[in-house]
Amino acid sequence: MARILVIEDNPANMKLATLLLLNAGHSVLSATDAETGLILARSDHPDLILMDIQLPGMDGLAATALLKQDPATVAIPVIALTALAMKADQEKSRLAGCDGYIAKPLHYQELYAVIDSLMAAVKGSASSTTSSDQQP
Ligand code: MN
Protein backbone atom coordinates (compact mmCIF):
# COMPACT_ATOMS: atom_id res chain seq x y z
CA MET A 1 0.00 0.00 0.00
CA ALA A 2 1.03 3.63 0.21
CA ARG A 3 3.26 5.66 2.51
CA ILE A 4 1.14 8.63 3.53
CA LEU A 5 2.24 11.82 5.26
CA VAL A 6 -0.44 13.38 7.46
CA ILE A 7 0.03 17.05 8.35
CA GLU A 8 -2.57 17.89 10.99
CA ASP A 9 -2.34 19.91 14.21
CA ASN A 10 -5.48 18.61 15.92
CA PRO A 11 -4.58 15.51 18.00
CA ALA A 12 -8.04 13.91 17.65
CA ASN A 13 -8.07 14.37 13.88
CA MET A 14 -4.50 13.05 13.62
CA LYS A 15 -5.41 9.99 15.66
CA LEU A 16 -8.47 9.28 13.51
CA ALA A 17 -6.64 9.77 10.21
CA THR A 18 -3.75 7.57 11.37
CA LEU A 19 -6.11 4.82 12.51
CA LEU A 20 -8.09 4.85 9.25
CA LEU A 21 -4.92 4.76 7.14
CA LEU A 22 -3.30 1.97 9.18
CA ASN A 23 -6.53 -0.06 8.98
CA ALA A 24 -6.39 0.25 5.19
CA GLY A 25 -2.83 -1.11 5.20
CA HIS A 26 -1.00 2.15 4.59
CA SER A 27 2.01 3.34 6.54
CA VAL A 28 1.83 6.77 8.14
CA LEU A 29 4.27 9.61 8.66
CA SER A 30 2.98 12.52 10.69
CA ALA A 31 3.70 16.18 11.32
CA THR A 32 1.75 18.70 13.38
CA ASP A 33 2.87 21.80 11.51
CA ALA A 34 3.57 22.74 7.90
CA GLU A 35 7.27 23.39 8.39
CA THR A 36 7.91 19.90 9.76
CA GLY A 37 5.67 18.43 7.08
CA LEU A 38 7.68 20.10 4.31
CA ILE A 39 10.91 18.70 5.73
CA LEU A 40 9.42 15.17 5.88
CA ALA A 41 8.00 15.48 2.36
CA ARG A 42 11.46 16.31 1.00
CA SER A 43 13.39 13.77 3.08
CA ASP A 44 11.00 10.80 2.98
CA HIS A 45 9.11 11.41 -0.28
CA PRO A 46 5.74 9.92 0.71
CA ASP A 47 3.34 8.56 -1.93
CA LEU A 48 0.61 10.95 -0.86
CA ILE A 49 0.03 13.81 1.59
CA LEU A 50 -3.06 14.57 3.67
CA MET A 51 -2.78 18.30 4.35
CA ASP A 52 -4.85 20.09 6.97
CA ILE A 53 -5.55 23.60 5.72
CA GLN A 54 -5.76 25.32 9.09
CA LEU A 55 -2.36 24.91 10.74
CA PRO A 56 -0.43 27.04 13.22
CA GLY A 57 2.10 29.27 11.46
CA MET A 58 2.22 28.47 7.75
CA ASP A 59 -1.17 27.20 6.58
CA GLY A 60 -1.80 24.15 4.45
CA LEU A 61 -2.43 26.11 1.27
CA ALA A 62 0.92 27.91 1.50
CA ALA A 63 2.65 24.61 2.27
CA THR A 64 0.99 22.93 -0.73
CA ALA A 65 2.03 25.79 -3.00
CA LEU A 66 5.65 25.30 -1.86
CA LEU A 67 5.46 21.53 -2.47
CA LYS A 68 4.10 22.14 -5.97
CA GLN A 69 6.89 24.63 -6.76
CA ASP A 70 9.61 22.16 -5.78
CA PRO A 71 10.61 19.63 -8.49
CA ALA A 72 11.45 17.15 -5.70
CA THR A 73 7.88 17.13 -4.36
CA VAL A 74 5.66 18.36 -7.21
CA ALA A 75 4.56 14.84 -8.16
CA ILE A 76 3.29 13.91 -4.68
CA PRO A 77 -0.52 14.10 -4.63
CA VAL A 78 -1.85 16.40 -1.91
CA ILE A 79 -5.34 15.97 -0.42
CA ALA A 80 -6.58 19.06 1.40
CA LEU A 81 -8.42 18.52 4.69
CA THR A 82 -10.60 21.31 5.95
CA ALA A 83 -13.47 21.79 8.34
CA LEU A 84 -14.67 24.62 6.18
CA ALA A 85 -16.72 22.77 3.58
CA MET A 86 -17.27 25.76 1.41
CA LYS A 87 -17.02 26.14 -2.33
CA ALA A 88 -14.49 28.97 -1.91
CA ASP A 89 -12.18 26.69 0.07
CA GLN A 90 -12.34 23.98 -2.56
CA GLU A 91 -11.39 26.55 -5.16
CA LYS A 92 -8.57 27.94 -3.00
CA SER A 93 -7.14 24.48 -2.41
CA ARG A 94 -7.29 23.71 -6.13
CA LEU A 95 -5.48 26.97 -6.94
CA ALA A 96 -2.81 26.16 -4.34
CA GLY A 97 -2.17 22.90 -6.21
CA CYS A 98 -4.07 20.37 -4.11
CA ASP A 99 -5.02 17.25 -6.07
CA GLY A 100 -8.03 16.36 -3.94
CA TYR A 101 -10.22 17.75 -1.22
CA ILE A 102 -11.94 16.22 1.82
CA ALA A 103 -14.17 18.05 4.28
CA LYS A 104 -13.78 17.13 7.94
CA PRO A 105 -15.02 15.28 9.89
CA LEU A 106 -13.29 12.43 8.06
CA HIS A 107 -15.49 9.63 6.73
CA TYR A 108 -13.53 6.51 6.00
CA GLN A 109 -15.37 5.66 2.77
CA GLU A 110 -14.62 9.08 1.31
CA LEU A 111 -11.01 9.04 2.54
CA TYR A 112 -10.34 5.61 1.02
CA ALA A 113 -12.09 6.52 -2.25
CA VAL A 114 -10.05 9.71 -2.73
CA ILE A 115 -6.77 7.95 -1.88
CA ASP A 116 -7.53 5.04 -4.23
CA SER A 117 -8.42 7.34 -7.11
CA LEU A 118 -5.30 9.48 -6.67
CA MET A 119 -3.00 6.46 -6.35
CA ALA A 120 -4.56 4.98 -9.50
CA ALA A 121 -4.03 8.28 -11.30
CA VAL A 122 -0.38 8.36 -10.24
CA LYS A 123 0.17 4.82 -11.51
CA GLY A 124 -1.66 5.61 -14.75
CA SER A 125 0.55 8.62 -15.45
CA ALA A 126 3.82 7.13 -14.19
CA SER A 127 5.32 6.98 -17.67
CA SER A 128 3.96 10.37 -18.68
CA THR A 129 6.04 13.55 -18.45
CA THR A 130 3.08 15.90 -18.17
CA SER A 131 3.58 18.88 -15.87
CA SER A 132 -0.14 19.48 -15.50
CA ASP A 133 -1.32 19.93 -11.93
CA GLN A 134 -4.91 20.52 -12.90
CA GLN A 135 -6.22 17.06 -12.06
CA PRO A 136 -9.82 17.06 -10.81
MN1 MN B 1 -5.95 22.36 11.94
Residue pLDDT, tens place only, 23-79: 999 999 999 999 999 999 999 999 999 999 999 999 999 999 999 999 999 999 999
- CATH 3.40.50.2300 for the 3-133 domain, yes or no: yes
At 127 the pLDDT is 54
Q: How far is the CA of 13 from the centre of ligand 1 (A)?
A: 8
Q: How far is the CA of 102 from the centre of ligand 1 (A)?
A: 13
Residue pLDDT, tens place only, 6-32: 999 999 999 999 999 999 999 999 999
Residue pLDDT, tens place only, 86-106: 778 888 889 999 999 898 888
Q: How far is the CA of 53 from the centre of ligand 1 (A)?
A: 6
The pocket of ion ligand 1, defined by CB under 5 A, consists of 9, 52, 54
CA distance 101 to 122: 16
Q: Is-contact 112 135, C-beta < 8 A?
A: no
